[in-house]
Amino acid sequence: MSNWVINHGLSALVIVVWLGINIFLFVYYYMFYEYNPKFQYTRAIIGSALAWARAPAACLNFNCLLILLPVCRNLLSFLRGSCSCYRCSARKQLDKNITFHKLVAYMIALQTAIHIVAHLLNFEWFNNSRQSNVETLDTALSRLGDNTSYWVNPIRSDQTTPTYVAFTTVAGLTGVIITIALIIMITSSTDTIRRSYFEVFWFTHHLFVIFFAGLVIHGIGRIVRHQTTASMQVHEYKFCQNRTKDWGKIPECPIPLFEGGDPMTWKWVLGPMILYVCERFIRLYRSQQRVVVTKAVIHPSKVLELQMQKKGFKMQVGQYIFINCPSISQLEWHPFTLTSAPEEDYFSVHIRSAGDWTEGMFQAFGENKDEAMDQLQPRIAVDGPFGTASEDVFHYEVSVLVGAGIGVTPFASILKSIWYKYENCDAGLRTKKIYFFWICRETQAFEWFADLLRSLESQMEQLGKRDFLNYKLYLTGWDSTQAAHVKVHIDKETDVVTGLKQKTHYGRPNWDKEFQMIAQTNPKTTVGVFLCGPQPLAKVLEQCSNKYSEVNPLGVHFHFNKENF
């Protein structure tokens, strides 16, 4: 339980505060519109649907204020650097920006649904009261102000329908546009769409521009009306509500006057919109800076390595960048973890061919490239670097690195940096031991990373730190021919698959056994667990981190961290 608090306590507190503010806003504005005397006549027409429409509107304003902040990556990187003196658990909240972004989006969808249903009922009741031939309070109110601006019912004609009003008023039309944009953005953001049709997600998500434009002008029609303060002073609701025939005829009941409330949404979202515009200008500026591809290397399993140089580029281990190649797509930017070390005079990424865009990069810089094409090399733009959880790897005395497939890339940067730090006799390195697990389906995937591991193996032996790096490679897919070949060469000093001294394991790790061993080997230690891989693996590692952390504050504790883009 104590380790759960360490890993998730601050996150839980953030969620509780966020939910608390949403609940407070909903209840406060529901009570405000349900009992405020200014809206007594409005409620006489549409009842409690007024409060049910306005309460979620307040929550929508709050959540639309938040929705852009988690995707202001430069702002988050700045905050991460500014709070470097804080504990890792505090900085770790910034790495959950996409998760929070999704939670806010779900809340927006929920509040939008409530808001829409309530307003559909409002339009229906407004229309019915307007067309009624019975002289009742709601009918009398609906016919007020036909030739003035002091009306309370936004439907000003006896020959209309709620559908017609929805598509001909500013509030109705913008509401339809906002809703359609929101539905498209949310449905195209599912994991299936993002993984298989990233371009669909990328383009549809930019409907947020239309969403926010519609949001800002949604309230300028001022269709939610209330009795003016001056009118309330001379026209008392309790006395006049049942004397509609006397309105304007007796001094005690002059004709009530109404006005619309000021649009409020723009006050909520203006600040985040300005921040996001600044974010995009920074990205635009970075995209215009010249990037030189110094080397392109083809690795097994269709992995392309690009080594690049850019003026003023500075990075930390585990960070990532966004890459754009205008010859493939003018608008698409894709995130890639940096695989180079800060000590190197270039920065690099490894791109696996897994879609239209990555296949285009592979063809542009890889399989169709020869020496004569060097001068025709496509231009690429780079935005970043941006911080991730892996930046904190050197803040722990013991770190556990887990990569799945191409998810090994952030740890390539970390291991390279360790190599340079030991080569330069960096006495400030706090990390005393690293456990590295790499899980792959194909033997070829190990080849491009094996050279680095061999170098580290050799260097640690020369420095007498053979136990510093404990790594295990797991192969989850093999055939009978490979198994027979491994069996024949089982007695060789080096592994037949990788050429490393550490033998390749077949199947998946027994995480309970691994965590138990790490806990026993490193008592009274805070261990950082870092994953770049799929969500099912993240759940297993997170459970093990909690399970094998001791209740004793002086015992071993595992802090789980996961890469999020």
Query: Do 389-445+454-478+495-532+551-562 and 290-386 fall under one CATH topology?
Result: no
Tell me the pLDDT tens digit for each residue of 282-335: 888 887 888 888 888 887 767 788 888 888 888 888 788 888 888 888 777 888
Q: Are 43 and 50 in contact (CB under 8 A)?
A: yes
Query: Is pLDDT above 90 for 20?
Result: yes
DSSP secondary structure of 6-65: HHHHHHHHHHHHHHHHHHHHHHHHHHHHHH-GGGHHHHHHHTTHHHHHHHHHHHHHHHHH
Determine the average pLDDT of the residues in 482-492: 47
Query: Is pLDDT above 60 for 19?
Result: yes
Least confident of 68-72, 74-78, 336-340, 465-469: 465-469
Amino acid letter at 207?
Answer: L
Residue 372: what pLDDT? Answer: 42
- Distance, in Å, from the CA atom of 341 to the CA atom of 414, rounded to the nearest integer, reads 7
> In a 10 Å sphere around its CB, with 0-12 CB exposed, 13-18 middle and 19+ buried, how is residue 164 labelled?
middle
- Taking the alpha carbons of 41, 46, 52, 53 in that order, is the dihedral positive or negative? negative
Residue 485: what pLDDT? Answer: 45
**How sure is the predictor about 384, in pLDDT bands with cuts at 50, 70 and 90?**
confident
Domain 290-386 grouped into CATH 3.40.50.720: no
Residue 275: what pLDDT? Answer: 92
The rounded percent of the chain whose pLDDT value lies above 70 is: 83
- Distance, in Å, from the CA atom of 59 to the CA atom of 114, rounded to the nearest integer, reads 11
Residue 90: what pLDDT? Answer: 62
Query: Is pLDDT above 60 for 491?
Result: no
**How sure is the predictor about 29, in pLDDT bands with cuts at 50, 70 and 90?**
very high
Residue whose structure tokens are 């027409």: 45
Q: Which helix (H) or strand (E) holds 138?
A: helix 137-142
Task: Report in angstroms the alpha-carbon separations of 334 from 95, 340, 358.
Answer: 18, 18, 9
Residue 439: what pLDDT? Answer: 83
Task: Report in angstroms the alpha-carbon separations of 84 from 92, 267, 529, 531.
Answer: 11, 32, 19, 21
* Nearest residue to 104 (alpha-carbon basis) of 182, 8, 47: 182
Tell me the pLDDT tens digit for each residue of 225-279: 888 888 888 888 888 888 888 888 888 888 888 888 888 888 999 999 999 999 8
Q: Are 387 and 337 in contact (CB under 8 A)?
A: no
* Greater pLDDT, 6 or 237: 237
Region of 240 on the Ramachandran plot (φ > 0 left; ψ -120 to 50 alpha; else beta): alpha
Determine the average pLDDT of the residues in 206-223: 89
The rounded percent of the chain whose pLDDT value lies above 90 is: 17
pTM (predicted TM-score): 0.79
Least confident of 82-91, 209-218, 380-389, 465-474: 82-91
Tell me the pLDDT tens digit for each residue of 38-86: 999 888 888 889 999 999 999 999 999 999 998 888 888 777 765 554 4
Q: Are 500 and 443 in contact (CB under 8 A)?
A: no
CA angle 489, 492, 493 (to 5 degrees): 155
Domain range list for the chain: 10-169+223-280, 171-222, 290-386, 389-445+454-478+495-532+551-562
Residue 427: what pLDDT? Answer: 57
Chain-centre distance for alpha carbon 60: 18
Tell me the pLDDT tens digit for each residue of 418-458: 777 776 666 567 778 888 888 877 666 566 666 666 766 67
CB atoms within 10 A of CB 449: 23
Domain 389-445+454-478+495-532+551-562 grouped into CATH 3.40.50.80: yes
- Distance, in Å, from the CA atom of 7 to the CA atom of 226, rounded to the nearest integer, reads 49
Tell me the pLDDT tens digit for each residue of 155-167: 877 777 777 877 8
Least confident of 11-20, 56-65, 121-130, 408-417: 408-417
What is the Cα gyration radius of the chain?
31
**Residues forming a β-bridge with 298:** 304
Residue 211: what pLDDT? Answer: 93
Q: What is the mean pLDDT of the chain?
A: 81
Query: Is pLDDT above 50 for 371?
Result: no
**Residues forming a β-bridge with 75:** none
- Taking the alpha carbons of 235, 238, 241, 243 in that order, is the dihedral positive or negative? negative
CB atoms within 10 A of CB 370: 6
* Nearest residue to 175 (alpha-carbon basis) of 221, 142, 135: 221
Residue 113: what pLDDT? Answer: 94
- Distance, in Å, from the CA atom of 511 to the CA atom of 114, rounded to the nearest integer, reads 45
**Residues forming a β-bridge with 286:** none
Query: Is pLDDT above 60 for 196?
Result: yes
In 373-525 the beta strands, taken as DSSP E runs, fall at 381-386, 398-404, 433-440, 469-475, 505-506
* Greater pLDDT, 231 or 500: 231
Query: Is pLDDT above 90 for 95?
Result: no
Name the token pair of 562.
């996961």
**How sure is the predictor about 529, in pLDDT bands with cuts at 50, 70 and 90?**
confident
Q: Order across the sheet with 526-532: list the strands.
A: 505-506, 469-475, 433-440, 398-404, 526-532, 557-562
